Each structure stands twice: as C-alpha cells, then as structure tokens.
A and B are shown apart, each in its own frame.
Chain A
Amino acid sequence: MKEETTMNNWKNFTKGFIKENPVLVMLLGCCPTLGTTTSAINGLSMGLATTFVLVCSNIVISLIKNLIPDKVRIPSYIVVIASFVTVIDLLMQAYLPGIYETLGLFIPLIVVNCIVLGRAEAFASKNGVWASCVDGLGMGLGYALALMILGAVREVLGSLSIFGWQFIQADGILVFVLAPGAFFGLAYFIAVVRRFNK
C-alpha cells in the first residue's frame, strides 16, 4: 500500500513535465509563455513565480475544499489564488526588482493564468494535501522548464547569448526576441513535443 502511494506521487509529479505539460500539451497559460520568454532567465523566473502560486494555492484549496459550498467554489478559489499572487508580487518587488521590472504586468496576471485555476478545480478540490502539493510542484516545474527552454532558444537565436552570457559578439536574428519570434518559437516547440509524445 505504502509503495503504491509513493508510485502515485511520483506519477503525479512527473506527468507535468512531458505527458501533461500544461503549456505544450494542454495549451494553458499561453499569454505569459509568449510574453516573458525573451530570455532564459525571464522565462525561468516567470515559471518559478507561477510554481510558487500553484503549490501554495493547491495546498490551501485542498485543505479548505470541504468548507466551501459548491456554488461559490470558483470565486473562493480565485480569492485564494489572488492572495498568493499578491504575496509573490510584493516579494519580487522587494528582493528581485530587476526581474520584477522586466516581467512587469505578467506577475499580477498570474491570477488569470488558466493553469492555476485549472489545477485547483481539476485536482486540488478532489485530492489530499500531499498529493495536491506534489501535483502543483510537478505542473509548475514542467511549466517553468517549458518557459526556460523556449526562452533559451529565443535568446540563442535572437541575441546569440545564453543566460545572459554572450558567446558570439555579433547581432542575432532580432526577430526572435521580438513579438513574432514568440509565436514562431512556441508553434515549433509544440509541434516537436507532439512528435515525441506519440
């Protein structure tokens, strides 16, 4: 029995990376994916901020799921999520002002990221605390990984650097760090992941 739950937890954790990756397979949370992946660092920090909100809101919602009347559950979830978004917003403003500045509007907008509300409704409202925490962590890290890879690809092609380290002193293909490059990058990323998921 104990072994079985460990297996389940491991499955809950890993499904977010490839098989049920929130952005690449389920196509949730596309706005920050396109908007913040101008570099690997930006993508990673956006992903980690979302992970924080996802884990915290999943834990709290799985704890209070029996107290909330069914009719008002969505507004209640939104209040929980919005509170944690405010927490991460203030934390980043205080300790990571540089990254906060570049991510800008997308930090408060985590509250309308479909992934967070989606996991609350589909998983945390039906499962225990530990499982919900693991699910949030797996989904969040899968999201962060996808954002980091997309950001790294755009950074390499667009400005010939990776994590801020310029490996060739020249101009890259500028269009990849601009708006169209985000759409092209995500399109081919999804197509590649589909190929491997078959």
Chain B
Amino acid sequence: MAYILIIISAMLVNNIVLAQFLGICPFLGVSSKVKTAVGMGSAVLFVMTLATIVTWLVQTYILNPLGIQFMQTVAFILIIAALVQMVEIILKKISPSLYQALGIFLPLITTNCAILGVAILVGNGTYNSMGLDATSLLPAIVFAIGTALGFMLALVIFAGIREHLAKLPIPEGMKGVPAALVVAGILALAFMGFSGLV
C-alpha cells in the first residue's frame, strides 16, 4: 500500500514538472508533438530508474562509509553523464529499434535537472517515502518510477494541448514560449487539485 502511495504522491501530488519545477527545459523544448513527448518520457523513465539505483549504491557503499558526502554533486553528475553515454552505446548494440525511438533524447537527459534532482533527494533520503525507510533501495526505486511517470504524464498532456495551440491566433509577443508557460500555469493549477489526495 505504501508503495502505491509513493507513486501517487510522486506522480500527481508533487509532480516533478508542475509542482517542483525540475526538468522544465525538456518540458518546453520537446513537447510540441505527443509522439516525441512519449519518446522523451520513456527515455527519462529508463534513465531515471537506472540512475537512481546506481547513485543509491554509490551513496550507500562509497560516499557514506568514507564520510565524503560533500563529493555528492561531483560524483552524481559524473555518474549520470557516464551512465547516459553507456546506455546509448548498449542500446545501439542490443536493440536498434529501441535506440531509434529513444536515441535522440538520450544526450539531452544528462543536463535534465530532474534526474540529478531525484538522485540527490534519494541520496539524502529527503523524499516523501510514506513512512517507509527512505534510505533503503526499494522505496527509492518506486519513487524514481513514480516521478518519471509524473514527468511523462505532464509532458504528454502538455504536448496534446500545444498541438492545438499551434492553430490558434496568439498575439505576437506571446507566441511560442510565453503562451506555453501560460498553459503550463493552468496545468499546474489543475494539478493543485490533487494536493489533498495523499
């Protein structure tokens, strides 16, 4: 039950894009079509889960025992950059079709602050774990999956709206990003309705 609550909390109540403001760049950049939004969302789901597992292992078995928690930022960003590169190479070899679908999004993910943000939250054990031990691995993985699903959900809804937005007459100064930000604001208002859920 607690695991379901973690997913609902990470996906809807504390949506990473609309409530935590992480991963705004890909949110605004690659969300003009529903198809690319799904692709980006799946790439984030894949890398976020993997990155959370690896950074958790590094935090628990290297940084904490040695007492060098201050190296967290440097270590995590390097791990994520290396991981993304590795995933790219492996996918290219073993599953060309999946690489075709996710490939172009992978390089963008290194600088996606949502990935590093989740890794740091998990590393410090400061995410909402619904009463479970925040420093153990399984709740962390569930939290990462929930967060990534929330990212994908926001991205897909947003892309759906933007496909229609392109056909509307919008004043010159508001064209493009400002109009998209207003839409995101209205979406954020809608997501605030979930706030009493968990």
Chain A positions within 8 Å of B, measured between CB atoms, are: 27-28, 30-32, 34-35, 75, 78-79, 82-83, 85-86, 89-90, 105, 108-109, 111-114, 117, 175, 178-184, 186-188, 190-192, 194-195
In the complex, the chain A residue whose C-beta lies closest to that of B75 is A82
- In the complex, what distance in Å separates the CA atom of A148 from the CA atom of B57? 39
- In the complex, what distance in Å separates the CA atom of A101 from the CA atom of B182? 29
Q: A183-B184, A184-B182, A191-B173 are in contact. Are A86 and B24 (CB under 8 A)?
A: no
User: Is B58 in the interface zone, CB < 8 Å from A?
Assistant: no
Do residues B21 and A117 form an inter-chain contact, with CB atoms below 8 A? no
Contacts of A179 in B (CB 8 A): 18-19, 21, 188, 191-192
- In the complex, what distance in Å separates the CA atom of A116 from the CA atom of B71? 19
- In the complex, what distance in Å separates the CA atom of A83 from the CA atom of B73? 8
Contacts of B128 in A (CB 8 A): none
User: Is B120 in the interface zone, CB < 8 Å from A?
Assistant: yes
- In the complex, what distance in Å separates the CA atom of A89 from the CA atom of B72? 11
Interface-facing stretch out of B2-10, B111-119, B129-137, B159-167: B111-119
Say which residue of A78, A85, A178 sits within 8 Å of B81 (CB atoms). A78
User: Is B63 in the interface zone, CB < 8 Å from A?
Assistant: no
- What per-residue 1/0 map shows which CB atoms of B176-198 lie under 8 Å from chain A? 01110110111011011000000
Q: A34-B24, A108-B72 are in contact. Are A78 and B188 (CB under 8 A)?
A: no
In the complex, the chain A residue whose C-beta lies closest to that of B85 is A75
User: Is B174 in the interface zone, CB < 8 Å from A?
Assistant: yes
Contacts of A113 in B (CB 8 A): 113
Contacts of A112 in B (CB 8 A): 77, 111-113, 116
Do residues A184 and B185 form an inter-chain contact, with CB atoms below 8 A? yes
Contacts of A181 in B (CB 8 A): 185
User: Is B20 in the interface zone, CB < 8 Å from A?
Assistant: yes
Contacts of A85 in B (CB 8 A): 73
Contacts of B24 in A (CB 8 A): 30-31, 34
Contacts of A79 in B (CB 8 A): 74, 78
Do residues A187 and B174 form an inter-chain contact, with CB atoms below 8 A? yes
User: Is B153 in the interface zone, CB < 8 Å from A?
Assistant: no
In the complex, the chain B residue whose C-beta lies closest to that of A83 is B74
User: Is B48 in the interface zone, CB < 8 Å from A?
Assistant: no
In the complex, the chain A residue whose C-beta lies closest to that of B15 is A179
- In the complex, what distance in Å separates the CA atom of A182 from the CA atom of B188? 10
- Within the complex, the shortest CB–CB distance from B125 to chain A, in Å, comes to 13
Do residues B185 and A183 form an inter-chain contact, with CB atoms below 8 A? yes
- Within the complex, the shortest CB–CB distance from B108 to chain A, in Å, comes to 11
User: Is B61 in the interface zone, CB < 8 Å from A?
Assistant: no
6 cross-chain pairs, A with B, having the tightest CB-CB distances, nearest first = A183-B185, A187-B181, A35-B21, A82-B74, A34-B21, A180-B188
User: Is B103 in the interface zone, CB < 8 Å from A?
Assistant: no
In the complex, the chain B residue whose C-beta lies closest to that of A82 is B74
Do residues B77 and A82 form an inter-chain contact, with CB atoms below 8 A? yes
- In the complex, what distance in Å separates the CA atom of A75 from the CA atom of B24? 23
Contacts of A82 in B (CB 8 A): 73-74, 77-78
In the complex, the chain B residue whose C-beta lies closest to that of A81 is B77
User: Is B30 in the interface zone, CB < 8 Å from A?
Assistant: no
Contacts of A191 in B (CB 8 A): 173-174, 178
Do residues A111 and B78 form an inter-chain contact, with CB atoms below 8 A? no
Contacts of A184 in B (CB 8 A): 181-182, 185
Contacts of A35 in B (CB 8 A): 20-22
- In the complex, what distance in Å separates the CA atom of A123 from the CA atom of B50? 34
Contacts of A117 in B (CB 8 A): 111
Do residues B120 and A108 form an inter-chain contact, with CB atoms below 8 A? yes
Do residues B21 and A27 form an inter-chain contact, with CB atoms below 8 A? no
